[in-house]
Every structure is written in structure tokens, then in C-alpha cells.
Copies of this chain bind each other. A is one copy, B any other.
Amino acid sequence: MPSALILIADGTEEMEFTITYDTLVRAGVDCKSAFVHNDEFVTPPAAKGSRGIKIVPDVYFEPADSGPDKFDALVVPGGAKGAETISQNSAVQKLVRDYLAEGKLVGMICAGSLTALTSGLPKQPLTSHPSVIAQLQDEFIYSEDSVVVSNNLITSRGPGKRTIDPNTPFAKALASGTAFPFAFKMVELLCGPEKRQEVHGPMVFPAGTPW
């Protein structure tokens, strides 16, 4: 059974986290959420999402238990504040490099893609939420696709238009529009295209849904 470690922090976009975790579980992936935190523990121990939903992590993030010897994939969701906490964590940065060096998958969505930058990954195709384009576009081969696969690094947007002014409230409202296609791509790469179809079918999206 493939496995995935999905990071979460205060400020994580709860739809991006939940859609990814839930869809991977449907595909039979053994998912574990790990709470990356800066401050003292809260009681009860829950991460407060960008829209206020409080999610209890499966574990607290512990680098020694989070390596590519333990999981087949590492996922960094978006949400501005959550992505900042996760992307600035030096243990997470090392894990990102370790996972890719070991041929394991790393997924980043929305502002989570900042972690590619902070981890010092080499220049390669990548996408992100438009609000963080300025930090990423010179360091990576920036794409406007909903989901970008660059070897074992999978990134996704949230919103889809690069032309959004990153200083507008429009762009600052972090989005989750590509969370489903991102989750399905992770399923496809971890479990194969047949499993993707098997999971996708029963969720039957409205006619014309482009994923």
C-alpha cells in the first residue's frame, strides 16, 4: 500500500488539505497528517485552517519519522500562513530534497510551492498560486497549467490565470480550484491510472468537469 505524509499548519487551506487526504485515502493510500508548528501546542491539539476549520493532525511533525524511508510521497498544501510556516521549516526543506533524491514524490499546491524555492530545488517546470509568482518565476520554469509534473515534483495552482495582479484582493484570496486535479494526479502517480479512474468514477463530477 503506498503511503503519503501530508503536512498541515495553522493557516493551511483546509479544502486543499482535505481534498488531497480524502482522495488519496479513497485510492487506498495510507495517509498521515503531520502538524508543523512554530509556537507552543494548543489544546486541544488542532491546526486552525485558513477559514477557521480546526483539524486534528494524526501526528506532530517529527523529522526523524517523516523521511522517504517511511512514506512514498510528501505533500505541502497551500494557504498563505500555513505555507509560510511549512516552507520556512528547515527540516521540511531537507525532507523535500531527500524525497526527490530517493525517487519519492513531492506534491505542492498553491502557496505550498514556495517550499520548492526555500528547499533550493534546481530550476524546473513549476506552478503555484498567482500571489507568489513574483518569488518563483525567475527561479523556475513557470507554467500556467493547473497541474505541473516535473519528474517527481508535482505542483498545482489553485487559481489558473497568471495575469491576475498579485497585489489585488482577488489574487490574495487563496484558492483551491485545482485541488481535485492535483489529488487525482497524485493518485495516478502513486497507484496508477486504473486506480485514478476507479476513484474518480464514484465521485462523478458534473458533466463536462475537465478532470
Chain A positions near chain B (C-beta within 8 angstroms): 13-15, 18-19, 21-23, 25-26, 31, 33, 43-46, 49-56, 146, 157-161, 164, 170-178, 181, 199, 201-211
- Give the copy number: 2
Task: Given A18-B53, A26-B173, decide whether A206 and B202 contact each other with a Cβ distance below 8 A.
Answer: no
Task: Select which of B15, B46, B199 is within 8 A of A18 by beta carbon.
Answer: B15
Tell me the interface secondary structure of chain A in the complex.
loop
Cβ contact within 8 Å between A202 and B170: yes
Indicate if the CB atoms of A52 and B26 lie closer than 8 Å: no
| Pair A177/B160 contact, Cβ less than 8 Å | no
Besides the contacts A21-B52, A22-B50, A44-B46, what 18 more A-B pairs have beta carbons closer than 8 Å?
A13-B22, A18-B18, A19-B19, A22-B49, A25-B51, A26-B51, A26-B173, A31-B52, A44-B45, A46-B56, A54-B56, A56-B56, A158-B204, A175-B202, A177-B206, A177-B209, A178-B205, A207-B210
Q: A53-B21, A209-B209 are in contact. Are A159 and B15 (CB under 8 A)?
A: no
In the assembled complex, 15 residue pairs joining A and B whose CB atoms fall closer than 8 Å, in A order, are A14-B22, A15-B23, A22-B176, A25-B51, A25-B52, A26-B51, A26-B173, A44-B44, A44-B45, A157-B204, A158-B204, A159-B202, A173-B203, A177-B205, A209-B210
Give chain B residues whose Cβ lies under 8 Å from the Cβ of A19. 15, 18-19
Chain B residue nearest to A199 (CB atoms) is B173
- Least CB separation from A202: chain B residue: B173
Nearest B-chain residue to A171, judged by Cβ: B202
Q: Which residue of B lies closest to A50 (CB)?
A: B22
Chain B residues lying within 8 Å of A205, measured Cβ to Cβ, are: 160, 177-178
Q: Which of A56, A157, A159, A205 has the most CB of B within 10 A?
A: A205
What are the residues of chain B within 8 A of A207 when measuring CB–CB?
A: 160, 210
